[in-house]
Amino acid sequence: MHTTIDIEFLKQNNLILFEAISGSQAYGLATPESDTDIKGVFYLPKTLFFANRYIDQISNASNDIVYYEIGKYVELLCKNNPNILELMCTPEEHILYCHPLMHKLKAEYFLSQLAKETFAGYAMTQIKKAKGLNKKINNPVAEKRLTVLDFCYIISENKSVALLEWLAQENKLMQNCGLAKINHTKGLYALYYSNGGLYRGIVKDEDSNEVHCTSIAKDAALTAYLFFNQEAYSAHCKNYAEYWAWVAKRNEQRYKGNQAHGQGYDAKNLMHTIRLLQQAKELFETGKLNVTRTNREELLSIKRGEKSYEELLVYAEQLMGEIEQASKHSQLPALPDEESAMKTLIEIREALYAN
């Protein structure tokens, strides 16, 4: 059996159980630039399920249309995954299709004190991402990667001088230098110089990741001591690779929007972080998860970069404190009712496969 399981397959075989508009449209935060995200739930055909060909998620290439197999859907609901709880609590006007069997899965099976950890934990992850992005936006890395030579220093007269600067000052050529490792030290080398082509240089080529030692005659005159800061070089290479990988993958329209507001952070990311924390606070205060936001203008002002990065981090910490306090007085159960959830999942699957 070599059936391709994709979105078209789900539709052709009537395997979709639930489908809704999600994201900014469902939150009431859409702007003219917003995409329309679709999330939903499907079930595997009986033959595939019992043949152990389980597929838990199917999406399109851009990942703005995602369907979860009903077993995975229930599993994530039991874990109080914020995105999946939001999907279950989608407002009626944004639901595109709902199979009657899906009404068997009740929100009260899943909404619990566990949400304090998952919502706040997810928000903290987003804050860390925002911090990382903040660092990338405000600390761009030059397109040309530095070389080993940029991290070498000459020890001279109780001070260090950058190797490339020293070579220029002394009118010496890198390829005429020879290095010998000094025992019991880290990164320290004896440097010798000869105009006669006796030595092989400090590095083999500009792409080398380490300095290059050579044979030195016992009676050769020492020219200087060289220190190679290998740890700093390795850190630079890592930072360079991460930065330019981010540049290659970043959403240019979103990046330019972040640059335009001049605050130096991913405004959309932090808007959704604040939204998430506000939802969690409401959940513990009311017992209900409200997807559509009533404070559209406040949240969009964050997206426009009208608040400082530091101000938003302080606000996020304040909200997490309020969630902690609200949870102490909440009527939500400590954990989801997994027994009822799994029993209902079995009933739904039996009904689907019976037909």
Q: What are phi and psi of 39, to 5 degrees?
A: -130, 155
Tally of domains in the chain: 3
Q: Clarify whether residues 30 and 77 are in a common domain.
A: yes
Q: Clarify whether residues 260 and 133 are in a common domain.
A: yes
- Tell me, yes or no, whether 16 lies in a domain: yes
- Tell me, yes or no, whether 240 lies in a domain: no
Q: Clarify whether residues 80 and 217 are in a common domain.
A: no
Containing structural domain, residue 10: 1-110+336-355
- Tell me, yes or no, whether 101 lies in a domain: yes
**133 and 140 in contact (C-beta within 8 Å)?**
no
Q: Clarify whether residues 274 and 179 are in a common domain.
A: no
Tell me how far apart the alpha carbons of residues 85 and 111 are, in angstroms, rounded to a whole number. Answer: 8
Tens digit of pLDDT for each residue in 326-347?
999 999 999 999 999 999 999 9
Q: In CATH, what number is assigned to the domain containing residue 94?
A: 3.30.460
What is the per-residue pLDDT for 150?
A: 96
Which residue among 232, 265, 290 closes a domain? 232
- Tell me, yes or no, whether 287 lies in a domain: yes
Give the pair of three-digit tokens for residue 327. Answer: 């949870």
**42 and 24 in contact (C-beta within 8 Å)?**
no
Tell me how far apart the alpha carbons of residues 137 and 144 are, in angstroms, rounded to a whole number. Answer: 18
Q: Clarify whether residues 309 and 354 are in a common domain.
A: no
Q: Clarify whether residues 131 and 278 are in a common domain.
A: yes
Q: Clarify whether residues 36 and 92 are in a common domain.
A: yes
Whether the pTM exceeds 0.85: the reply is no
How far out from the chain centre does Cα 351 lie?
A: 39
Residues of the chain with pLDDT under 70: 1-3, 129-139, 250-265
- Tell me, yes or no, whether 301 lies in a domain: yes
Tens digit of pLDDT for each residue in 17-61?
999 999 999 999 999 888 899 999 999 999 999 888 889 999 998
